[in-house]
Amino acid sequence: MQKDIATPIRTKEILNKYGFSFKKSLGQNFLIDPNILRNITEVAGLTKHSGAIEIGPGIGALTEHLARTSKKVLAFEIDGRLLPILEDTLSPYTNVEILHQDVLKANLKTVIAEKFAGIEDLMVVANLPYYVTTPIIMKLLEEQLPLRGIVAMLQKEVADRIAAKPGTKEYGSLSIAIQYYTIPETAMIVPKTVFMPQPNVDSAVIRLIKRPQPAVQVINEEFFFDIIRKSFAQRRKTILNNLSNGFGKDQKEFILDALHKTDIDPKRRGETLTIEEFGKLSDSLWTLFNPN
């Protein structure tokens, strides 16, 4: 078998060979522990019938593990300096394709239809750049792509917020947005020592398995997410105060009415409400604001 890219010695050799320097602005931290990469591919549950989409392959450390365990790998790389390196490091693998493109600007539905025709099981598996973790995950979920799920390495603090339960300090609009579409589970904690260069914080690998249907059915999805944003605008304020500030003080009676109809105490804070309670509250307010 091909020698792993993700060892400290091999990584240094590759970087020196190409005179590569890390760009802080792109959040580049390369993994140098093959065991963690093996664990990530295991968490993703890939088989020889699966397709894998990677975002930010770096020098190909995770990519090669995906190539060994899946049918096809498509990786989005924004940094043109890495393309010749990837061509070199991944030359033994015929089932890998690199796209020099910003995934946030890509038309993913079209790309998937073209590149993964005939592949039923598709996962996104990525060591995500910290500075764009949330926009990337939300794009993958909101565009209703034919994915089984996402396995992502991200900042531990962000993973904690994604998997948080109501009533905890980590629970907020991000938790609800991602739990609306998926069932999250933190698979492992990854220490900062296994990266080059070392980031300032520890990471976590989170698995997001897509729900067949959203966690709650609501009348208007956009309005539902607007209610959530407004409810968390100032964490220390009550749900009544936050929503009154968000919609305007003149709407306070409507808001009180909706809270009573859904058995939600106006003195509660947003962080104590479950996703189901937000769904009921959203529908109740929508009906009051749009009576026809």
Homologous superfamily of 221-289: rRNA adenine dimethylase, C-terminal domain (1.10.8.100)
pLDDT tens digits, one per residue of 169-200: 999 999 999 999 999 999 999 999 998 888 88
Residue 56 among known ligand-binding residues: yes
Residue 77 among known ligand-binding residues: yes
Predicted pLDDT at 206: 98
Query: What number of helices (H) and strands (E) belong to the chain?
Result: 12, 9
Residue 285 among known ligand-binding residues: no
- Interval 4-20 mean pLDDT: 89
Residue with tokens 């997001």: 208
CA angle 155–76–28, rounded 5-degree value:
40
Angle, to 10 degrees, between the axis of helix 239-247 and the axis of helix 221-231? Answer: 120
pLDDT tens digits, one per residue of 255-286: 999 999 999 999 999 999 999 999 999 999 99
Residue 253: burial class (beta carbons within 10 Å; 0-12, 13-18, 19+)? exposed
The CATH fold assigned to 8-210 is Rossmann fold (3.40.50)
pLDDT band at 1 (very low <50, low <70, confident <90, very high): low
Predicted pLDDT at 30: 85
Predicted pLDDT at 197: 83
The model's pTM is 0.93
Element (H, E) at 158: helix 156-162
Q: Would you state the structure tokens that stand for residue 133, as one six-digit string?
A: 């973790």
Domain edges within the chain: 8-210, 221-289
Higher local confidence (pLDDT), 3 or 7? 7
Residue 292 among known ligand-binding residues: no
The overall average pLDDT reported for the chain is: 94
Rounded CA separation 30/10 (Å) = 12
